[in-house]
Amino acid sequence: MGSWVIYMLIAWFVIFALMGWSINRLLKAEKAQKAQGS
Amino acid sequence: MEQRDQWATKIGLILAMAGNAVGLGNFVRFPTQVAQNGGGAFMVPYFIALFFLGIPVMWIEWVAGRYGGKYGHGTLGPTYYLMARESLKPRSALWLGVISGMLAFSLTVLLNSYYLHLIGWSAAYTWFSITGAYFGKNTGEFFNNYLSNHGEVMLFWGITVILLAIAVGQGVSKGIERWVKVMMPLLYIFAIIMVGYVFVLGSPVDPNWSTIDGFRFIWSPNWSYLKDHFSAVLLAATGQIFFTLSLGMGIIQNYASYLGPKDDVALSGIATVSLNEFAEVVLGGSIAVPLATAYFTKIVNPDLIAKAFLKSPSFLINMGVPQNIASSGNQTAISNYLSQHWGEIMQYLTQHKDIGLKAIGNTFGLGFSYTSLPNVFVSMGSAGRFFGALWFLLLWFAGFTSAIAMYNYLVALLEEDLNINRKVGTWIVFIIYLITGLPVIYISGYMDQVDAWVSFQLTLLALFDIIVAVYLFKPDNFWKELHEGAWMTVPNWYKPIILYIAPILLLIPLIGTAKDLVGTTLEWPARIAIIIMWIIGAVESYYSIKKKYGEELEKNEVIIKV
């Protein structure tokens, strides 16, 4: 295995992390907003 | 001010935006661009463009959309007129609005002139999978035969455009959300299964060609290729980022215009980008290119290699073709030579897989995925008919949902800007699509020429995004708007990126490729189509701004202010 595997895994990890973080935060914020509204 | 509909939930909006962004750009256009632009050589500027351009321009378009929505606008012309008005007098701002509106309108029409064909190809391949039409055949030759059967191409494209018009006629939320909620998760699941399958497939035909070689091609930075083709690869990468994120078309602004004035845009922008990038880099990047590598010997033949490098004889010379034949421009002579020395040529290509993949990318253009993917379904035997049909049907839906968003933008343009009834507008756009889509069937090379121009114009419109929605709107206003109701704080170091780095990164490929693109790549039919769309777009934008802001344009003073 060459260094390309590492590059691929890093890119995948960054994308996963960004997706997980943003969606999670979005859902939490929306929930909090709804709770505040009700 | 007119009361507009708003999105019921933020996650619904994100899914709709992602549904719009996730489409054939990820699974068809991205692998083509990777193959055509040196694999790892493409990925370096791709990630640079994502970080320095994709994310900032996404924020800019969300901010612009929400701002336009406050004034009851969902289209680019009037929105950018309003933003430019912050620094310029209304009569000067008018021209910025007209140019931006013109670029967005023409881009959406030009893009759809061929994008709907890609969706049609997916419909056709769904049918071909069911009937097993490509089973046991060279998939490259099969694809070429399909394209030369104009009646068949027109049938599947025509069905797609009619269904699209019917779907759009139903309205924004019904038309988009219903489709997205069902098909998006299905596509993701199937794509994840496909990626797993691709990883374990190995070398199904020839031990020298494996799927892992495809991954190596994508993920090994190819600095020498990047150095030799810097402007072209940079433009391809920036164009792909804007294409895939649906930026530079006015669509994101249109969606964001239905937000409330205090709804978050910063975090939502990031969420949209990351969902799309997962579909593109992780899924789209792990299917077509590795499969094209593994099934290379079942896709290529001497004719294909001759056609691919007809205008680039240096590649042929490197393969061992004598200079007089390689530079002759005679496809038959080159093909004959390659046939006679096919064993040696294949040996060369085995050692230079990047050149082999470039050949497939050059020859089939956006058909790249349609030549590589069918092979994997063939290898599954009769089950492959079912899985092939399902895959291409899902691709069809992915493209279809994206096309709905673009169609909606054009209908909104006619409805909001020119007071044309939605139903009438739907059929006007339908006719525009039919007229602009015909040259794709009958003029060889037209599709890839328009696609190359689309990359250029997407980059140009992104530059306008920054000029108008940041500089003329005033950077402090932009930054304030970006954080209005935001669920995240955008780091301050992103400010200089948006203000200085992004415009430079946009200018480099624009300047570096303009001459070649306009002078060499584009032929007259494509040039004429672009000019006509520019004119229509400019006239439409001019009237839409004049209609609502006629009085303040006459007095050259700002009157309407929310």
Looking up residue B445, the CATH number of its domain turns out to be 1.20.1740.10
Phi-psi region of B329 (alpha: psi -120 to 50; beta: other; left: phi over 0): left
Residue of A nearest to B14 (CA): A23
- Tally DSSP H helices, then E strands, for chain B: 32, 0
Cα dihedral angle (B346, B351, B355, B356), rounded to 10 degrees? Answer: 40
Residue B4 located in a structural domain: no
Question: Least CB-CB distance to A26: which of B11, B40, B219?
Answer: B11
The total number of structural domains in chain B stands at 1
Residue B310 lies in a domain: no
pLDDT on residue B174: 59
Domain assignment present for B349: no
Partners of B38 on chain A (C-beta within 8 Å) are: none
Q: Give a yes or no: residue B331 inside a domain.
A: no
pLDDT at position B173: 47
Contact A15 B220 (CB under 8 A): no
pLDDT at site B4? 61
Helix or strand or coil: residue B127?
Answer: helix
Chain B contact for A23 (CB, 8 A cutoff): yes
Q: Does a structural domain hold residue B379?
A: yes
Select from B515, B314, B544 the least CA-distant residue to B413: B544
More confident residue, A32 or B538: B538
Comparing CA positions, the residue from B464, B456, B458 lying closest to residue B510 is B456
Question: What residues of chain B lie within 8 A of the CB of A5, using their CB?
Answer: 219
CA B173 to chain CA centroid, nearest Å = 23
Q: State the helix-helix crossing angle for B150-168 and B422-442, rounded to 10 degrees.
A: 160
Shortest CA gap B367–chain A (Å): 25
Round to whole Å and give the CA distance between B33 and B275.
20
B18: chain A residues, CB-CB within 8 Å: none
Alpha-carbon dihedral angle through residues B257, B260, B261, B262, given to the nearest 10 degrees: -130
Residue A30 to residue B11, Cβ atoms within 8 A? yes
pLDDT of amino acid B397: 84
Residue B99 class from Cβ within 10 Å (0-12 exposed, 13-18 middle, 19+ buried)?
A: buried
Within-domain flag for B427: yes
pLDDT value, residue B167: 81
Contact between B221 and A7 using a beta-carbon 8 Å cutoff:
yes
Residue in the block written with tokens 């402090």: B476
Q: Name the token pair of B467.
A: 């000029």
Instruction: Tell me if B298 sits within 8 A of B375, measured CB to CB.
Output: yes
- The answer to whether B523 and B449 are in contact (CB under 8 A) is yes
**B132 torsion bin: left (phi>0), alpha (psi -120 to 50), beta (else):** left
Mutate to test the interface with B, among A22, A30, A31 (most CBs of B within 10 A): A22
Chain B residues touching residue A18 (CB < 8 angstroms): 270, 273-274, 277
Question: Is B316 inside any structural domain?
Answer: no
* CA neighbor of B302 nearest in space, from B134, B143, B141, B136: B141
Cβ atoms of B220 and B39 closer than 8 Å = yes
Contact B10 A30 (CB under 8 A): yes
Query: Which residue range(s) make up the domain with B44?
Result: 10-300+366-555
Residue-level length of chain B: 562
The CA distance from A29 to the nearest CA of chain B, in Å, is 7
Structure tokens at B449: 């020429």
Task: Look at residue B336 and tell me if it is in a domain.
Answer: no
Q: Going residue by residue through chain B (562 aa), what tens digit of pLDDT does each one get?
A: 445 666 667 777 777 777 666 788 999 999 999 999 999 999 999 999 999 999 999 999 999 999 999 999 989 999 999 999 999 999 999 999 999 999 999 999 999 999 999 999 999 999 999 999 999 999 999 999 999 999 999 999 999 999 888 888 776 545 556 666 777 788 888 899 999 999 999 999 999 999 999 999 999 999 999 999 999 999 899 999 998 998 988 888 988 898 888 889 999 899 989 989 999 999 999 999 999 999 999 899 999 999 999 988 999 999 999 999 999 989 999 999 999 999 999 999 999 999 999 999 988 888 999 999 999 999 888 999 999 999 899 889 888 888 888 888 898 888 888 889 888 999 999 999 999 999 999 998 899 899 999 989 999 999 999 999 999 999 999 999 999 999 999 999 999 999 999 999 999 999 988 888 888 888 999 999 999 999 999 999 999 999 889 999 999 998 888 7
B262: number of Cβ within 10 Å: 9
In B202-328, which residue ranges form alpha helices assigned H by DSSP?
211-219, 223-228, 230-244, 251-256, 266-277, 288-294, 296-299, 302-308, 313-318, 323-326
**Interface contact flag, A7 B270, Cβ < 8 Å:** no
Structure tokens at B523: 């032929």
Quote the CA–CA distance of B151 and B325 in Å, as a whole number: 36
Task: Tell which of A12, A18, A33 to mutate to test the B interface (max B CBs under 10 Å).
Answer: A18
